[in-house]
């Protein structure tokens, strides 16, 4: 009642602020808002939206990138449906995603919890783990090639030194995929850790104190407090990791070139192969559009189903 009468009071005194004045204020506010986002919108339109539209157009054409393109309608998509290498690349991408994303996130959370505690020289450890983030994927891939080099690489040398058989990292499909996954996890775990660290530092220590008073074990504290309260970080990382996995390219291109056979071929390496090596740019663009659609669908589903994305303490 009080509130109603208060609103009524305000309403009664409204003529003190003219309607035209409020409109002008709203207009100015909107103008400021547009002013802030316009540079971003221009850049995104120029470097993101326009190229995506161009790629979609390209996917309906047969072109080498120069000369006159031919409009072929859905031919590139029809060809894709019957292309076994495309399906193999899609399957490889899914396997890569399903394996690396949970490991990345679990390891990232574990390291974040560890390095969020009173650990000696934790700054040094944090730096060491985050360091791979600042190295380019190509450079990492080249380092990894020397490490996983089948005949003289350090990993096989170590395995042989301790009496084990060398592993066919470069000539057999499964070991090749495992080598790529190991390097990908190493490369990304630092990013996961940083995001989780930020999430952990937003959790009030009083919650843990209260849990300890109630007799909760460390595992119970982790399960009942930490995991739920880093929900927004988990949601963000899940989206980012899945997108990154669907777009993995540099590591695989440098380490295995998609081989042996098509064992490590993923969607982006296959798109690159078609777009730039065979010069079937229309087909390459069509594969790119499929990657875009898959990542958008996954992001949409995650957005709709995640219950913890907006969770705050």
Is residue 299 at the binding interface for other proteins, with CB under 8 A as the rule? no
Under 8 Å CB-to-CB from 112, ≥6 apart: which residues?
192, 193, 194, 196, 197, 199, 200
Q: Burial letters for 223-240: b for 16+ Cβ neighbours within 10 Å, e otherwise?
A: eebbeebbbbbbbebbbb
* Nearest distance from C-beta of residue 186 to other proteins, angstroms: 18
* Nearest distance from C-beta of residue 94 to other proteins, angstroms: 17
End-to-end CA distance of the chain: 32
Q: Residue 203 to residues 72, 191, 256: CA-CA distances in angstroms?
A: 56, 19, 42
Helix axes 173-200, 137-148, angle to 10 degrees: 130
* Nearest distance from C-beta of residue 62 to other proteins, angstroms: 11
Alpha helices in the chain (DSSP H): 2-12, 19-44, 50-58, 75-81, 84-116, 122-130, 137-148, 154-161, 173-200, 205-213, 218-221, 227-229, 231-246, 250-255, 267-272, 281-305
Using CB under 8 A, which of 89, 233, 241, 256 touches other proteins?
A: 256
Using alpha carbons only, give the angle 226, 130, 206 rounded to the nearest 5 degrees. 25
Say how far apart CA 258 and CA 253 lie, in whole Å: 6
* Nearest distance from C-beta of residue 150 to other proteins, angstroms: 5
Say how far apart CA 188 and CA 194 lie, in whole Å: 10
Q: Residues in contact with other proteins, total (CB under 8 A)?
A: 56
* Nearest distance from C-beta of residue 255 to other proteins, angstroms: 7
Is residue 175 at the binding interface for other proteins, with CB under 8 A as the rule? no
Is residue 199 at the binding interface for other proteins, with CB under 8 A as the rule? no
3-state secondary structure of 199: helix
Is residue 273 at the binding interface for other proteins, with CB under 8 A as the rule? yes
The pair of three-digit structure tokens given for residue 121, joined into one six-digit string: 């020289």
Using CB under 8 A, which of 6, 42, 142, 164 touches other proteins?
A: 142
The pair of three-digit structure tokens given for residue 90, joined into one six-digit string: 């899609």
Is residue 291 at the binding interface for other proteins, with CB under 8 A as the rule? yes
Say how far apart CA 134 and CA 205 lie, in whole Å: 31
Rank residues 235 and 253 by Cβ distance to other proteins and give the closer one.
253
* Nearest distance from C-beta of residue 166 to other proteins, angstroms: 8
Touching other proteins, residues 88-117 (CB under 8 A): none
The pair of three-digit structure tokens given for residue 102, joined into one six-digit string: 């949970």
Phi, psi dihedral angles at 64 (to 5 degrees): -95, 0
Using CB under 8 A, which of 27, 34, 276, 303 touches other proteins?
A: 276
Binding segment (CB under 8 A) for other proteins, from list 43-51, 124-132, 180-188, 204-212:
43-51
Rank residues 66 and 219 by Cβ distance to other proteins and give the closer one.
66
Rank residues 243 and 311 by Cβ distance to other proteins and give the closer one.
243
Binding segment (CB under 8 A) for other proteins, from list 144-152, 198-206, 212-220, 229-237:
144-152
Rank residues 186 and 249 by Cβ distance to other proteins and give the closer one.
249
DSSP 62: E
Rank residues 199 and 275 by Cβ distance to other proteins and give the closer one.
275
Binding segment (CB under 8 A) for other proteins, from list 58-66, 113-121, 215-223, 298-306:
58-66
Please give the residue ranges that form the binding site for other proteins (CB under 8 A): 47-48, 51-52, 54-55, 58, 64-67, 85, 136-138, 141-142, 145, 149-152, 168, 170-171, 247, 249-250, 253-262, 268-269, 271-273, 275-281, 284-285, 288-289, 291-292
């Amino acid at each position: 009642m009080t509130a109603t009468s208060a609103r009524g009071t305000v309403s009664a005194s409204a003529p003190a602020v003219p309607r035209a004045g409020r409109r002008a204020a709203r207009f100015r506010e909107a103008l400021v808002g547009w002013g802030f986002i316009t540079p971003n919108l221009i850049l995104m339109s120029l470097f993101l939206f326009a190229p995506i539209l161009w790629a979609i157009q390209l996917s309906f054409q047969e072109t080498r990138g120069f000369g006159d393109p031919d409009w072929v309608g859905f031919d590139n998509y029809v060809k894709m449906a019957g292309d076994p290498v495309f399906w193999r690349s899609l399957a490889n991408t899914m396997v890569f995603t399903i394996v690396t994303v949970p490991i990345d996130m679990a390891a990232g959370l574990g390291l974040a919890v560890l390095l969020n505690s009173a650990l000696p020289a934790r700054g040094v450890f944090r730096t060491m783990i985050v360091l791979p983030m600042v190295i380019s994927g190509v450079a990492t891939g080249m380092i990894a090639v020397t490490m996983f080099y089948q005949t003289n690489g350090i990993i096989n040398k170590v395995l042989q030194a301790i009496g084990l058989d060398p592993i066919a990292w470069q000539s057999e499909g499964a070991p090749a995929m495992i080598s790529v996954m190991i390097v990908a996890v190493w490369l990304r775990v630092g990013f996961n850790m940083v995001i989780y660290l930020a999430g952990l530092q937003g959790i009030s220590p009083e919650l843990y104190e209260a849990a300890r008073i109630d007799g909760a074990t460390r595992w119970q504290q982790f399960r009942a407090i930490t995991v739920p309260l880093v929900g927004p970080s988990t949601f963000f990382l899940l989206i980012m990791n899945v997108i990154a996995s669907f777009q993995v390219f540099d590591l695989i291109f440098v380490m295995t070139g998609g081989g042996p056979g098509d064992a490590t071929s993923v969607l982006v390496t296959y798109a690159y192969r078609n777009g730039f090596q065979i010069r079937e740019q229309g087909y390459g663009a069509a594969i790119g559009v499929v990657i875009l659609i898959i990542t958008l669908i996954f992001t949409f589903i995650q957005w709709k189903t995640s219950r913890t994305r907006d969770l705050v303490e």
